Amino acid sequence: MDKMLKQYLDRAKEIIGKRTASEIAHDNEVVDALNSGFLIEAALSLAAQHHPSEALQWDSGNINEIATYYDYLKDHENIMKKLQMKNMN
C-alpha cells in the first residue's frame, strides 16, 4: 500500500473512530441527507427519525463541530469510492 494512502487511512481511522453498526447507519443517513442538499440540522433530524437510539443532541454551541465531522465523513466517503473505482480498473 502506498505510504501516503496508509497515512491517510490511519488518520481517518483516528478521526472517525470505532463505530457500531447502528452508529454507521445513522452516520450514513446524515451523509446521504447532506449529499441531497439538506442543511446539517435537517440531516440530523432526519437521521434521528430512522435511528433514534443514535440521535445526536446539538445546539448552537456544538453544531459547527458536528457539521465539520460530517463534512469530513462526506469527503472520506468520496475518497474511498474513488479508490475502489481505481482498484477495479
53-70: per-residue pLDDT in tens?
999 999 999 999 999 999
Taking the model in full, what pTM does it have?
0.87
Helices (H), the chain: 3-16, 21-35, 40-50, 63-88
Rounded Cα distance between 47 and 54, Å, is 8
Q: Of 4 and 64, which is predicted with more confidence? A: 64
Mean pLDDT across 46-56: 95
Is residue 32 within 8 A of residue 78, CB to CB? The reply is no
